[in-house]
A and B are shown apart, each in its own frame.
Chain A
């Protein structure tokens, strides 16, 4: 199948999904009122509640939800064949993804800007909020493990990448200085820092620079220090840790924020260049099969495909962003669909582009596997992107380094903010019992130490599956909440309830599979210490999430069975 056909299919899905299905639900069931005051206007405090135009919020929402998830998931998922991966990206968004994002947003608006935590408490049960906090904490820990693994053990171990990363960091710091201290014009700041960053990435590919990092990483055959951890892994991970430490402890304006800003331009120019290259090249999938086998390295197609691709189809995290962030900034209720639903469909398009880097950039299945396959998804993306960029004149060598820096930045900018969050969250949760946790440095070090355990011990595909399961369980919870809210409002809720049931059942099955396979590994003869610890860790996390989900289902069913308002007739 040609890549243009895939793009057309994606465009059709957006046109039908947003233009017909989403608009039908919005107009006839939810019935937003453009004249009603939103929480942003009623409670405008300049802190959390502040109205913004829908175009601004659309950009903000898209940037908040689109990251490594829509890239990594589809690239891993094509190990089952291109058809299941593409079908889940398109149909998942069509029936579930936009429903969750839009539903969480409009629910937040109609419930006076309540967060998912408060809504869980009020609509399901008091312990549902605690369960959500457990999901959130494990979810963030697993993100740190997954991204730390991908960056520290794969991307940063390419000697052409670290210098480019350092360039991004330095230029980010410069951007902060120029904007806040020197009051420089933002356009001048952008041009100077982005151009210098590209220069730094190019310099990093030159032999006299990459040889220095090659020596630091232990050369092409990096010595093994213990288990399967090499010197390159240790150095790469420590660079990641150093970056996250700085991002967590320094004032946000001086490091995290401006580095994020410079990173945005590096990433978006890369995506644009890749899309132009793809449209010029228009490659086909070669011999990439629509279906390979039911069970692969990640497990059986059902349920594992549905947690492998999260954000490109549906992601629980989006409900938190929609309710706690965007819902408190909407000017009008009618903006919820273009902002929430529209951003999700746009993310689907992003996932389709990532899907194409795996399926069309290498001439077929063998090329995909030679580029690294599911076990090195980010490496596949950077090489695929380099192949697309070569059609607009970018040399492949530079393209691969650029793609790797691009992905490294995306992962690190998320990781530093997650560490910041974990530091603040630990101070809030345990700071009174353990006062030292209120210290900025101690909180950060504890979060990073936990991250290191996950990065060095748990294999990439396992941790990605565990992360996907936690994420999708949150999606199931969010959809359940939306269903309960609709029932309370006396509106039809099957369009949210059926997806909720699907997500909860599928994710539970995935967690049971993860728990079973990891505990079963403990019975393997000659199992290494590293593998034992990894299996116990993942198995225990899976069991905790299963128990939490079971409680949630029990409370959710009780709440659903309570009598509510009779559903109102649909609008004519």
Chain B
């Protein structure tokens, strides 16, 4: 009996958790994405200014680049891919939700 009750409670908890995630996805997830995207764009710009030499745009003197190197090495490949990835208008589709 106890294990059946626990199973049912467990299922109810899972369902409630799934429903709350679904509601989050429909409501504030967009806000979080937009804010994360803005932060990501600012970080990209910062890395471009400090490490632009990697993509052929030496902006800052190497002194600052070397000081920041240990912090940026883990993300540099990801940053290059994000900065140099080919984009077209369909990348902007995320701006519009709930069209049809």
Contacts and interface: CB of A to CB of B under 8 A. Distances in A.
Interface stretch (A82-90, A110-118, A221-229): A110-118
A414 B99 CA distance: 6
Contacts, number: 157
Contact of B43 (A46, A48, A63): A46
Contacts of B18: 55
Contacts of A471: 100
A253 B36 CA distance: 13
16 contacts: A45-B78, A46-B37, A47-B37, A47-B82, A55-B17, A58-B25, A60-B25, A61-B25, A70-B100, A117-B90, A252-B34, A261-B28, A410-B98, A417-B95, A421-B92, A428-B89
B40 A129 contact: no
A186 B23 CA distance: 13
Contact of A52 (B17, B26, B29, B34): B29
Interface in A36-63: 43-50, 52-53, 55-63
Interface of A: 43-50, 52-53, 55-70, 115-118, 129, 132-133, 136, 143, 179, 186, 252-253, 257, 260-261, 264, 268, 310-311, 315, 317-318, 320-321, 323-325, 410, 413-414, 417-418, 420-421, 424-425, 428-429, 471
B6 interface: no
B92 A64 contact: no
A252 B41 CA distance: 15
Nearest to A113: B85
Given A65-B99, A417-B96, 14 more contacts: A44-B78, A48-B82, A52-B25, A55-B19, A60-B25, A60-B29, A62-B25, A64-B98, A67-B98, A136-B90, A186-B28, A261-B27, A264-B26, A410-B98
A413 B99 CA distance: 9
Contact of A133 (B29, B41, B88): B88
Contact of A421 (B86, B87, B95): B95
List the 10 shortest-distance A-B pairs measured between CB atoms, nearest first: A59-B25, A69-B100, A47-B40, A55-B21, A117-B88, A67-B98, A59-B26, A56-B25, A115-B90, A59-B22
Contact of A67 (B88, B91, B99): B99
Q: How would you classify the secondary structure of chain B's contact residues: helix, strand, loop or mixed?
A: helix
B99 A317 contact: yes
A324 B26 contact: no
B46 interface: no
A253 B28 contact: no
Contact of A317 (B29, B87, B88, B100): B100
